[in-house]
């Protein structure tokens, strides 16, 4: 079974909560922890999304994180790449048998299909 990492899973949970609130709707780390999401881990994920320009961060009273764009404008692919880096089932270039196992061509095609599919969906699709 193909599964996302905990980091990607939690990141998409954060983005789903924010997508329900729309652009500018704020969520604090305290609120996320009340939902059962680990506060420190969520902070690291949110920072990655802020650095990618997907989220905005506000400190202090009434602070938290909000979307910089409408949910329909944020591709799932862009969000996952901001959280995880390149989205690929395997990293053939870092494999010790790179090129000699016979599966690299298949994995390349699979990666392109996954990327294409993720580029078809937005955060709005997540909350429908």
Q: Go through the domains of the chain in sequence order and give each one's CATH number.
A: 6-126 (1.10.10.10)
Q: Find all residues with CB under 8 Å of 24, minimum gap 6, and list them.
A: 66, 67
Distance CA 55, CA 68 (A): 5
Q: How many CB atoms lie within 10 A of CB 31?
A: 14
* DSSP string for residues in 36-59: T--HHHHHHHHHHHHHTTSEEEE-
pLDDT at 2: 61
pLDDT at 1: 47
pLDDT at 51: 97
Which residues of the chain, if any, have pLDDT below 50?
A: 1
pLDDT at 85: 87
Q: Is there a contact between 121 and 71 (Cβ–Cβ < 8 Å)?
A: no
Its pTM stands at 0.86
pLDDT at 96: 78
Q: Is there a contact between 40 and 4 (Cβ–Cβ < 8 Å)?
A: no
| DSSP annotation of 60 | S
């Amino acid at each position: 079974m193909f599964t996302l990492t905990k980091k990607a899973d939690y990141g998409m949970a954060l983005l789903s909560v924010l997508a329900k609130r729309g652009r500018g709707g704020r969520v604090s780390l305290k609120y996320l922890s009340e939902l059962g999401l680990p506060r420190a881990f969520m902070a690291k994920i949110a920072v990655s999304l802020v650095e990618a320009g997907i989220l905005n961060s506000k400190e202090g009273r009434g602070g938290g994180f909000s979307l910089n764009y409408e949910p329909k404008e944020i591709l799932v692919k862009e969000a996952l790449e901001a959280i995880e880096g390149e989205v690929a089932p395997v990293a053939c270039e870092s494999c010790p048998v790179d090129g000699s196992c016979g599966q690299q061509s298949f994995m390349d095609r699979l990666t392109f299909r996954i990327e294409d599919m993720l580029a078809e969906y937005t955060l709005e699709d997540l909350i429908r």
